[in-house]
Amino acid sequence: MYSNGKKYSLKIRGNLLELNFPCVMGILNITPDSFYKQSRILDVHSAMERCSTMLDEGATIIDLGAASTRPGSLYPGAEEEFNRLAAVFPELRKSFPDTIFSIDTWNAEVANKMLHLGADIINDISAGELDPAIVEVVAQHHVPYIAMHMRGTPENMQQLTQYTDVVAEINTFFVEKIRELRVAGIYDIIVDPGFGFSKTLEQNFALLKNLDLFMLHEVPILVGLSRKSMISKAIGCNSDEALSGTIAANTIALMNGASILRVHDVKAATDAIAVFRKMT
């Protein structure tokens, strides 16, 4: 295992975000049913407090989601997803004008509306597979795009875990996806292997062990391991008790090339990065 040594930059509304070392994306769930109960935010006041805390703890990006993507979850619909986001985001944008906000959505209509409201990045769990129109939306707005690997939908993804070689097959997926995105005019691309999405426990850890192989795409790698079932199952606990396991997994990810850690617990992740940087 080793440091990636790569330096990337993303164009965000006329400015460059320099990823000279790994950074943290803090999770802000505007949902009643996200898998980790402590992350659920249902009103503007709570969203403001949570966002402020994560920024104080060192988050570089705040990721807003309004539709749970836990295994077996059902999509609430574009109207409900947007209404949840619109209930809190304008005030967040106004109160934190310099903060980079990403929107966790696969729906093109929701993405378009949120980008018009001032969002900076689109984080798509399906990499355009669930709603291909999102690619054109992102291209038109000239914003960075996070393309995550997943098969099927959150409702049925855990029935779609048949791979001959999970690392090789997802790498092939990204080769083709990045080519497609660049042809469409999207150049600021981040890849996410999709831990916990259409993967078994063993496949998740194979991806973590071989994360450095995704560096061949020469784009930032985002890792979302925070309190997921792969951690809970590995150490025999529930999500409330999975922080120490998350820190361990995130540290492995950093050593294997991760550029962005998407987490619930920002301070723990920024501390892990600080320790990691002493080795680079």
What pLDDT is stored for residue 3 in this prediction? 47
What pLDDT is stored for residue 1 in this prediction? 38
Which domains, from first to last, does the chain contain?
23-277 (3.20.20.20)
Average pLDDT estimate for 231-259: 95
How much is the mean pLDDT over the chain?
Answer: 93
- C-alpha distances (whole Å) from 189 to each of 21, 64, 123, 184 are 17, 18, 10, 12
Question: For residue 74, what are the contacts with CB-CB under 8 A and spacing of at least 6?
Answer: 155
pLDDT over threshold 50, residue 2: no
- Per-residue pLDDT of 131-189, as tens digits, reads 999 999 999 999 999 999 999 998 899 999 999 999 999 999 999 999 999 999 999 99
Of 202, 191, 125, whose CA–CA distance to 161 is shortest? 202
Catalytic residue among 84, 228, 233, 267: 228
Residue 192 pairs in a beta bridge with: 148
Active site residue 262: yes
Q: What is the pTM of this model?
A: 0.94
Catalytic residue among 179, 199, 262, 277: 262
Active site residue 228: yes
